[in-house]
Amino acid sequence: MPGSDFNFETIEFLDPTGQLKRPLPAALATRDKLVELYQLMVQTRVFDLSAINLQRTGAMGTYPSGEGQEAIGAGIGFAMQENDVLVPYYRDVAAQIRRGVLLEEILRYWGGDEWGMHFQHQEQDFPISVPIATQACHAAGIAYAIKYRRQSRAVVTTCGDGATSKGDFYESINIAGAMGLPVVFVVNNNRWAISVPLEKQTAAPTIAHKALAVGIDGFRVDGNDPLAVFHVLSETLERARTEHRPSLVEALSYRLGDHTTADDASRYRPQRELDAARELEPLIRFKAYLQKEHQWTDAEDENIYECCKEQVKKAIEAYRALPEQPPGEFFDYMFARPTADLEQQKQEWLAGVKRRG
Ligand SMILES: Cc1ncc(C[n+]2csc(CCOP(=O)(O)OP(=O)(O)O)c2C)c(N)n1
Ligand SMILES: [Mg+2]
């Protein structure tokens, strides 16, 4: 069984200096495709930094930065087929962009308006999950529906290293194995779960080892390398679609930012660890690769950044122009018919809004 050899060697294509160590995946073997992949990561980074600024200036709510983790979403986004289903968590902006979610929709969500998760151009993907690991259960259920309907599709769901300690995660990978469901569980192992380091999170030698207990394929991949993520996701998704074989993919990354804008990681995280991680991050590496192997120029690089900044600027303008969500509306989507308690809370909330003017 691929991947389940108890060693889980880390799959890499690019070393940290941007040197290619294996032949390129065939689907990405043109300069244009590689530039498209790089542009997605740059777009995600530029968006991320702007989103933090929006929160800092009071124009948006709490935001979880994905800085340094762009290669995972980009690799996932490029590997998925259009009719596959993404069940994401909150650090998957790159994958969401690739799947057609608008930047202003993501801003709208973090601005506190759930309509931001009602995607205009992407109907089958799921909203991001903020509750930890609950999405793994949803993904298993969707995969079951796909199998039941005999469709040739697969589900990708993502979560963090901390999420793999939750019952929801174990239950989901277990049922996926027991029932042979077309789902790939991608774990973004960014080494921290807020202030809990990986060392305190689990005694398992790697997160990929968790696949062994439930009899599914497990893989470890360099999450700073979008080519490697793309390769592993392409293969695991194909096995999920055609053979109903689920996988667990541990993508090794590092959370370069604070946990969210409500956190200050300098209170618990050693600076030297962060400095070392910065050396390994995906944008530096991929740019070095493009320069070495594809005559990538500084002018082209500047051009991509300018283009991405322009797109983010437009998204921010669209976000700022949105009508304010009617007060109390967020109670309306919990159930088809609200419970008496919920209705009472809504009325109390509306009365409070009225009092405060
Ligand atoms: C069910 C639930 N419990 C607790 C939280 C609070 N919480 C938010 S993020 C987080 C840590 C998640 O860490 P990890 O799974 O490693 O993902 P990361 O944020 O590092 O990407 C916790 C405990 C939550 N959102 N949902
Ligand atoms: Mg984490």
Residue nearest to ligand 1 atom 13, measured at CA? 193
Q: Do residues 316 and 341 both lie within one domain?
A: no
User: For the chain, how many residues are written?
Assistant: 357
pLDDT in tens, the chain (357 residues): 455 567 899 999 999 999 999 999 999 999 999 999 999 999 999 999 999 999 999 999 999 999 999 999 999 999 999 999 999 999 999 999 999 999 999 999 999 998 999 999 999 999 999 999 999 999 999 999 999 999 999 999 999 999 999 999 999 999 999 999 999 999 999 999 999 999 999 999 999 999 999 999 999 999 999 999 999 999 999 999 999 999 999 999 999 999 999 999 999 999 999 999 999 999 999 999 999 999 999 999 999 999 999 999 999 999 999 998 888 888 988 899 999 999 999 999 999 988 987
CA of 258 to the centre of ligand 1 (A): 13
- The angle at the Cα of 250, spanning 134 to 62, to the nearest 5 degrees, equals 50
Alpha-carbon gap, residue 66 to 74, rounded angstroms:
12
Residue 29 forms part of a structural domain:
yes
pLDDT of residue 333: 84
- Per DSSP bridges, beta strands 183-189 and 155-160 are parallel
Residue 311 forms part of a structural domain:
yes
Residue 2 forms part of a structural domain:
no
Q: Do residues 213 and 340 both lie within one domain?
A: no
Q: Do residues 183 and 330 both lie within one domain?
A: no
**Cβ–ligand 1 contact at 129 (below 6 Å):** no
Q: Do residues 133 and 266 both lie within one domain?
A: yes
Q: Closest ligand 1 atom to the C-alpha of 130?
A: 25
Residue 1 forms part of a structural domain:
no
Please report which helix (H) or strand (E) contains residue 239, including its range. helix 226-243
Contact between 107 and 60 (Cβ < 8 Å): yes
| Residue 268 annotated as catalytic | yes
Q: Do residues 264 and 171 both lie within one domain?
A: yes
Contact between 248 and 185 (Cβ < 8 Å): yes
Q: Do residues 349 and 202 both lie within one domain?
A: no
CA of 135 to the centre of ligand 2 (A): 15
Domain count, the chain: 2
pLDDT of residue 257: 98
Contact between 159 and 132 (Cβ < 8 Å): yes
pLDDT of residue 1: 44
User: DSSP per residue over 201-236, as a string?
Assistant: H--SS-STTHHHHHT-EEEEEETT-HHHHHHHHHHH
**CATH classification of the domain holding 60:** 3.40.50.970
| Residue 255 annotated as catalytic | yes
Q: Do residues 178 and 261 both lie within one domain?
A: yes
Domain span holding position 346 = 326-357
Q: Do residues 352 and 259 both lie within one domain?
A: no
Alpha-carbon gap, residue 99 to 87, rounded angstroms:
11
Which of these is catalytic: 22, 31, 56, 268? 268
Residue 136 forms part of a structural domain:
yes
Q: Do residues 172 and 297 both lie within one domain?
A: yes
**Cβ–ligand 1 contact at 196 (below 6 Å):** no
pLDDT of residue 4: 52
- Nearest partner of 250 among 276, 232, 273, 227, judged by Cα: 232
Tokens found for residue 30? 């043109």
CB within 5 A of ion ligand 2: which residues? 160-161, 190, 193
pTM over 0.75: yes
- Nearest partner of 100 among 40, 30, 14, judged by Cα: 40
Contact between 240 and 297 (Cβ < 8 Å): no
Q: Do residues 259 and 340 both lie within one domain?
A: no
- Nearest partner of 110 among 34, 27, 32, 52, judged by Cα: 52
**Cβ–ligand 1 contact at 258 (below 6 Å):** no
Residue 202, exposed/middle/buried by CB under 10 A (0-12, 13-18, 19+)?
middle
| Residue 144 annotated as catalytic | no
Q: Do residues 296 and 221 both lie within one domain?
A: yes
Alpha-carbon gap, residue 101 to 269, rounded angstroms:
33
- The angle at the Cα of 353, spanning 351 to 355, to the nearest 5 degrees, equals 70
**Cβ–ligand 1 contact at 193 (below 6 Å):** yes
Residue 3 forms part of a structural domain:
no
Contact between 33 and 27 (Cβ < 8 Å): yes
Residue 4 forms part of a structural domain:
no
Q: Do residues 31 and 75 both lie within one domain?
A: yes
Alpha-carbon gap, residue 357 to 330, rounded angstroms:
19
Residue 240 forms part of a structural domain:
yes
